[in-house]
Structure formats: C-alpha cells, structure tokens
Amino acid sequence: MPFFENRLLFLGTGTSTGVPVLGCNCRVCRSEDPHDKRSRVSVLLKTRCLPDPAEKNASPTNWNYVLIDTSIDLRAQFFRAGTPLVNQVVYTHAHVDHFFGLDELRVIQYYLQGPIHIYCSEEVHHRLEVVYAHIFDPYVQKGGGILSVEVHPAEGRFRAGAMELLTLPVFHGGQPVQGYRWGGLAYITDCSHIPDSTLELLEGVEVLVLDALRHKSHETHFNLDQALAVVECLKPRQTWFIHMTHDLQHAETNAGLPEGVELSYDGLEIELSSFDPSKWVL
C-alpha cells in the first residue's frame, strides 16, 4: 500500500500591502519577530508517494506541486522555498497581490521545457489575457523570453497535474472568487461570505486555511471574529488564518485564539493526512 506524503507550504500570508507596510512606523511594522513579516498570499501544495517499507531499495517519487496564486512576491518566495519546479498554477481570483507574479515562472519553464498549466475561472482567464497581453498576442514573437501557458477551466472537481481539486465558490465582497479543497484541506483566501452550498462542500474538513484580515470589519474580507465564527461552524481539527494586515501582531494575537486556531506565517510547512492526491473522497 503506497503512502502519500501531502504537504502545504505557506509562501506568503500577508494582505495586499504586505507587512511591514511601506512607510508605516507602527509596532507590528517595526516588530523584530520574523512571524510579523508577511509577503503577499500564496501557498504551495506538495505531494509525493513513499514506497511500501517492505519493498527494498525503493525510493520516494519526486515532489509534485500545485501553486495556488502567483503572488507579486513570487520570486523571493521561490528562493526561500528552494526553487520548486512548479508548472501547475491554480488561481483564486485576479487581484494584483495574487496575480502579478506569473511572469516569474519563465525561469521554471526553462528548466521544465514545457508550458505552465493554469486552472482558473472564466473571469480570471479574461484577466490573464488583459494583464499578460504579451503572452497571448499573436504578433509578439514566441520563444525566447516569453512565458508559454495552457489555460484550463477550474470548475467543480478538476485535475491539476497529480492532484484532484474541488472548487469552493465564495464571495469577496460582491465578487465571486474560488477557494479549493484537496482531501482534508480547504483553502479560502479573500472571502467575506461563504454560501450554504459551499459550506456543504466543506463538511469533514480537517485543516482549514482562511482569510482573517484584522480586528475591524472590512467590506470584502472576514475580520478575526467573522473568521472565528466560520471555524465554530465547521469545526476543523486545525485552522490557519492568512491575509493579515499590520493590525495583528503574531504572538499576541495567537495567545488570544482558541485551541486549534493560529495565525499562519511565511515559510510554515505542514503535513496533511495521507490521502490519494488524485482520487480522494469526501
């Protein structure tokens, strides 16, 4: 029986400005705790197959990756993560903080010698063609330095490389955006409302990653209390909050959170339960 090692790496956990905020002199922006340094939100899903211990001389497979969002800080995040060779990208939505790092994958494409596969909603596909016009423009010379992509729909359950993901439709203010479920994990960033039909898709979630912007309420994001109300309703084993502003000092905020709920931080890597990455059931 193969054992799947499934992991989640938090590449970035900060709001759209990042923390520290340029020009801000508040105590969180001045904090020397590395947990208070937050680059723009993105995570890397990782999976590999470990052989049956009974099989002698067998070794694990290479890591397979899916990147959720291409943060504007992608280059620095990939240095820190040891340059993962990622060619599968899934988008939640097309806001600048989550979207403007795509071109940095040109170098990865050079190593892998193939296109970057992108999975997204129709709206994000449209934004890709607008923002990255040079990639789609037939008059721009191909090859050389131009990123090559293949865009696929991210609807319902879909396959991205070695992983099967389930789309979680949620709202970011009035805008529909997408979270994703992978086995026992649910990842929901930039969210201020989860419809009932999506709450049903979240049943049995073990590890929840959720937007929790700050203490004060906000039009398009859950604040800390609203995010805690979602946790109370879903009761996951562990919750990691993301997309925090400089309102939330890491250690101080964590000290006030219930058991099993913590602020995440850049560089944190967690192990998920062992499920088949491409054939998991709810």
Q: Is 123 exposed, middle or buried (0-12, 13-18, 19+ CB in 10 A)?
A: middle
Q: Is 95 in the site for Zn ion (CB under 5 A)?
A: yes
Q: Is 69 in the site for Zn ion (CB under 5 A)?
A: no
* Tokens matching residue 244: 């925090």
Sheet holding 261-263, edge to edge: 157-160, 163-172, 175-182, 185-188, 207-211, 238-242, 261-263
Q: Which of 63/171 has CB closer to Zn ion?
A: 171
User: Could you say which residues in the range 241-260 bind Zn ion, by CB under 5 A?
Assistant: 246
Q: Which residue type sits at 101?
A: G
Residue 240 CA, distance from chain mean position: 12
Residues 162-201 as x/- pattern, contact with Zn ion by CB under 5 A: ----------------------------x-----------
Q: Using CB under 5 A, pick the residue from 36, 69, 73, 97 that binds Zn ion.
A: 97
**Which region among 22-30, 201-209, 230-238, 260-268 touches Zn ion (by CB under 5 A)?**
22-30
* Tokens matching residue 53: 């211990």
The site that binds Zn ion (CB under 5 A) totals a number of residues, namely 8
Residues 6+ apart with CB under 8 A from 86: 44, 65, 66, 67, 105, 108
Q: Using CB under 5 A, pick the residue from 2, 3, 26, 126 that binds Zn ion.
A: 26
Q: Is 58 in the site for Zn ion (CB under 5 A)?
A: no
Residues in touch with Zn ion (CB under 5 A): 21, 24, 26, 29, 95, 97, 190, 246
